[in-house]
């Protein structure tokens, strides 16, 4: 069984079976790629290049997503600051920024200081990215917004939503 030496196959007249060796057949047939294989590789590479190359030269999508996250963080900070300080925190929008102010009344006359010391706390959009569908509003001392909001960041499909009763920002 193990270690036995295989013996040649013999016919009735004691001639060796003449079979071509497997590696000889492969070496005759596989000298290169067929034309179909080369064309298919070129087509696949062309499709990948057409899809991938524009992503390397345009970073608007990444900037839009980054600004989306920044606005969500700014609104969550505004709600938490309103609850922690037992004051109103107003959110004022322009087409390319969101600014936070605070006050004892809905008027909100004092700039809200950011955790890094920036005054007023503001989130500015990168070039080519804008805000849409928003209106100025405020959070009361319980963290509830004065009105529900749906905010659109250009270049990013998901809306930023501020729920009416809870102030939940998502």
What does the pLDDT look like over 39-79, one tens digit per residue? 999 999 999 888 877 777 777 888 889 999 999 999 999 99
For residue 1, pLDDT beyond 80:
no
For residue 60, the model assigns a pLDDT of 81
Greater confidence (135 vs 8) lies with 135
Residues 117 and 86 in one domain: yes
State the number of CA atoms in the 13 A half-sphere of 68 facing the CB.
Answer: 19
Judge if 42 and 71 occupy the same domain: no
Cis peptide before 58 (omega within 30 of 0): no
Find out whether 14 and 6 touch, Cβ atoms under 8 Å.
no
Q: Specify the pLDDT at position 52.
A: 79
Distance between CA 50 and CA 115 in Å, rounded?
Answer: 44
Same domain flag for 70 and 120: yes
Regarding whether 111 and 43 lie in a shared domain, the answer is no
State the pLDDT at residue 13: 56
13 inside domain: no
| Residue 35 and residue 81 in one domain | no
Q: Is residue 71 part of a domain?
A: yes
Same domain? 26 vs 101: no
Q: Report how far apart, in Å, the C-alpha atoms of 168 and of each of 114, 139, 146 are.
A: 20, 11, 13
Question: Could you tell me if 100 and 121 are in contact, meaning their C-beta atoms sit under 8 angstroms apart?
Answer: yes
Q: Are residues 43 and 71 in the same domain?
A: no
pTM higher than 0.85: no
Q: Is 14 a domain residue?
A: no
Question: pLDDT tens digits, residue range 68-125?
Answer: 999 999 999 999 999 999 999 999 999 899 999 999 888 888 998 888 888 889 999 9
Q: Which of residues 6, 34, 53 is at a domain's end? A: 53
Domain that residue 128 falls in: 60-162
Q: What is the pLDDT of residue 127?
A: 87
Q: Are 88 and 82 in contact (CB under 8 A)?
A: yes
Last residue of a domain, one of 35, 53, 71: 53
Phi/psi of residue 63, nearest 5 degrees: -65, -40
Res 27: pLDDT: 56
User: What b/e string do you get for 33-59 counting C-beta neighbours within 10 Å, with b at 16 or more?
Assistant: eeeeeeeeeeeeeeeeeeeeeeeeeee
Total number of domains in the chain: 2
129 and 100 in one domain? yes
Same domain, 118 and 148: yes
Residues 113 and 136 in one domain: yes
* Beta bridge partner(s), residue 121: 100
């Amino acid at each position: 069984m193990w270690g036995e030496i295989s013996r040649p196959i013999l016919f009735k007249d004691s001639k060796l079976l003449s079979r071509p060796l497997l590696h000889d057949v492969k070496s005759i047939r596989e000298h290169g790629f067929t034309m179909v294989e080369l064309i298919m590789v070129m087509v696949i590479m062309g499709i990948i290049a057409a899809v991938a190359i524009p992503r390397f030269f345009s970073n608007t999508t990444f900037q839009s997503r980054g600004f989306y996250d920044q606005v969500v963080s700014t609104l969550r900070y505004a709600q938490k600051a309103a609850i922690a300080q037992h004051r109103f925190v107003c959110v004022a929008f322009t087409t390319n920024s969101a600014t936070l102010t605070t006050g004892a009344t809905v008027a909100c006359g004092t700039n809200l200081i950011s955790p890094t010391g920036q005054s007023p706390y503001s989130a500015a959009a990168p070039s080519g990215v804008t805000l849409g569908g928003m209106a100025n509003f405020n959070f009361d001392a319980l963290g509830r917004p004065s009105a529900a909001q749906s905010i659109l960041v250009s270049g990013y499909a998901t809306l930023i939503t501020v729920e009416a009763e809870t102030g939940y920002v998502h």
